[in-house]
Structure 1
Amino acid sequence: MEFRHLKYFVVLADELHFGRAAKRLAISQPPLSLNIQQLEASLGAALFERNSKSVKLTPAGVAFREIALRLLAEAAEGEERVRQIAKGAGSRVRIGIVGSMLFRGLPERLKAFQKLHPRVEVTLSEGNSSEQVDALIRGQIDLAFVHTERIPRELNRVIYVSEPFLCCLPSNHPMAGAESIDLRELSTEPLVMFSRSASPDYYERVLGLCEEQGFRPAVRHEVRHWLSVVSLVSKEMGIALVPRALADAGIGGVRFVPFGQSKYKSEVYLVWNERQMLAILPVLMHALNEAT
């Protein structure tokens, strides 16, 4: 049984006349008769009583008419739903973020996207990189921004942002007015770090940079949020290496000074699962990449 059979059956059930039904369907009578015969054969029941003078529904035909109407309505609704989803209507996109994305223009870009796609619901959830990767694998989110490059093979990734590390200093620090800083100048400074448990890749990255310059930093404080890092520095609790985006956090009492070594980069990866991809996701990703 095919949907074509259902459509032909319903029109004939309405008209109860092969000629009028064929005209309404824009086909000739023989194909109509053949399709009705095929439908009856597949169901194993006669749906019409017909002779040279009249056509009428059998009891089975009366019952099947209600079923056919419902199936055709559901098919039409399904087709429309798919078209709307392909356009983004009614979609819900769940995005996982690391906190620094709030200072990289992501909220503003999402607002611009939603002006163009008002029926797409976008939700954000913050977590560390490993939490975001796990959520993607479990299908709990659709897109993630992470700091780690250790991405499982089943996921897709691209570098979304690559920006320099800056030295975050209390505004009254002797080096706060410098044009640039050599990392080795910080060898005796107490360091405020993003927690190793929250972001092991960032933690190891900073330690590795310091060890390349011949010293092991004195990690004094570990916190789980970037604003906490900058806030502790503002309270003269130490200094920190932070991504360039944190300079826009708007916290007073600190200065952000570039390093002379340009190779000190902080990278953010955009990660998704191509096998569980929403129809609207490529549109959103294109919009976000256009804005970078």
Structure 2
Amino acid sequence: MDLRSVECFLRVAQTLHFGRAAEELHLSQPALSQRIRTLERDIGARLFERNRRGVRLTAAGHAFRPHARAVVTQGEKAADAARRAALGLQGRLRLGFTVIASYTELPQAIQAFRTAYPEVEVDLVEVNSPALEEALDRGEIDLAILHPPLERPHLHMRHLPAEPLVLALPVGHRLAGRSAISFSDLADEPLLSAPRHVGPVLFDKVVACFRAAGVEPRIVQEATPVTTLAGLVAAGAGIGFVTRGVATATRPGVVYRTVPAAPTVPLAAAWSHPTPPATRFLEILPQQPT
């Protein structure tokens, strides 16, 4: 059943005048009459009776009218839903992110997105960067906030503001009283670090900073995620680098100090096939400083 023909029926039923209905519908009267005849043939019953005194609904027309209104209303709702989904105003956003990303401005961006687009359902998943890339390839998530460089160069990426690294020290450590520390100060210190396979580029950058200062890092324990590393520092297991965002989460027994030569942790938004809600979310994310 053609939705436009149902709309034509309703207009004729309202005006009880084919000429006036055709004018309001921006159709010729013969075209309108043809649509009504086709509709009647599809239904298998006459909907109007026309004679010299005018037009009136048949019993079938009266019975059809409320259902016709419902059909048109539902059709309009369906069309509106499709338009809103295409614009990213409703639907679903499947967002993946790393634990480090969760300590950036990402939570505020998610809240702002939910406020701006309340009809978009947001699904959140926290895993490491390699797993996020795999999830993007499999179509399990729409957008990922992770740490470049990407292992899958076919994915699309937009850089986000990087996160500075700070040094986590146990309270009472010999360097805790300093406001800034150099890598040469860390000679022979027991170092806690994430495994290299989790973030090889950052791992190698930190090691390179030690060696540039003439110091060989003494890694005594691997720890992941970075929040676990901070807990081990509090327990006196060693010292370690965490992001500035993680450092803002107060942990008893730990102090954080700046190491000016320390590298930053890169962040990026990555996607495979951009969905409308993902595109909307990218508009809310902070831009990388130029």
How does the TM-score come out when normalised to structure 1? 0.77
CA contact under 8 A between 2:183 and 2:215: conserved in structure 1?
no
Structure 2 equivalent of residue 268 of structure 1? 267
Shift of the 14–101 alpha-carbon distance from structure 1 to 2, 3 Å rule, reads same
RMSD between aligned residues: 3.9
Q: Quote how far apart the aligned CAs of 1:217 are.
A: 1.8
Counterparts of 1:281-292 in structure 2, within 5 Å, are: 281-289=278-286
1:127 equivalent in alignment to 2:124: no
Distance in 2, matches of 1:36 and 1:229, equals: 74
Shift of 1:237: 0.8
Secondary structure of the residue aligned to 2:133 is: helix
Paired residues, number: 288
Partners of 2:164 and 2:264 within 8 A in 1: yes
**Structure 1 stretch 115-124 or stretch 67-76: which is displaced more?**
67-76
**Alignment correspondent of 1:104:** 104
Which letter does structure 2 place at the counterpart of 1:277? T
Cα distance change of structure 1 residues 108 and 217 upon mapping to structure 2, 3 Å threshold: same
Q: Is the 8 A contact 2:156 2:271 kept in 1?
A: yes
Q: Could you say if the C-alpha distance between residues 50 and 153 of structure 1 is closer, same or farther in structure 2, counting changes exceeding 3 Å?
A: farther
Alignment-derived partner of residue 193 in structure 1: 193
The alignment partner of 2:270 has SS state of strand
- 1:10 and 1:69 in contact (8 A); partners too: yes
1:219 and 2:216 matched: no
SS at match of 2:124: strand
Q: Report the secondary structure of 2:279's partner residue.
A: helix
Tell me which residue corresponds to 1:177: 177
Aligned to 1:161: 161
Please give the residue correspondences for 1:230-249 in structure 2 after superposition, counting only pairs within 5 Å: 230-249=230-249
Residues 41-83 of structure 1: CA deviation (Å, up to 9, x unaligned): xx8x9989999879999xxx9xx99998887555323211124
Whole-Å separation in 2 of the counterparts to 1:189 and 1:269: 32
Task: Report the Cα distance in structure 1 between the residues aligned to 2:179 and 2:49, rounded to whole angstroms.
Answer: 95
SS across alignment from 2:250: coil
How far apart in 1 are the matches of 2:203 and 2:261? 19
On the 8 A contact 1:192/1:220 being kept in 2, the answer is: yes
3-state SS, counterpart of residue 251 of structure 1:
coil
Judged with a 3 Å threshold, the aligned counterparts in structure 2 of structure 1 residues 151 and 11 are, in CA distance, closer, same or farther, namely farther
Q: Distance in 2 between matches of 1:161 and 1:46?
A: 67
Q: Does 1:228 find its partner at 2:228?
A: yes
Amino acid at match of 2:279: P
CA distance in 2, matches of 1:211, 1:33: 87
Distance, in Å, in 1 between the alignment partners of 2:125 and 2:165 is: 25
Deviation at 1:120, TM superposition (A): 2.9
| Percent identity for Structure 1 against Structure 2 | 30
Stretches of 4+ moved more than 6 A in 1? 13-17, 45-57, 64-71
Give 2:91's aligned residue.
91
Distance 2:94 2:48 in 1: 56
Q: For 1:215 and 1:10, how far apart are their aligned partners in 2?
A: 84
Structure 1, residues 257-292: CA drift from partner, whole Å, max 9, x if none? 212326x2211112123x3412x3333222222799
For the 8 Å contact 1:88–1:119, the answer to whether it is kept is no
What are structure 2's unaligned runs of at least 5 residues? Answer: none
Amino acid paired to 1:97: F
Where do residues 44-55 of structure 1 align in structure 2 (5 Å cutoff)? none
Q: Distance in 1 between matches of 2:86 and 2:29?
A: 38
- Give the equivalent residue in structure 2 for 1:277: 275
TM-score with structure 2 length normalisation?
0.77
Q: Does residue 149 of the first structure (1) align with residue 146 of the second (2)?
A: no
Work out whether residues 170 and 255 of structure 1, in 8 Å CA contact, stay in contact via their aligned partners in 2.
yes
In 1: Cα distance, 2:140 partner to 2:91 partner: 15
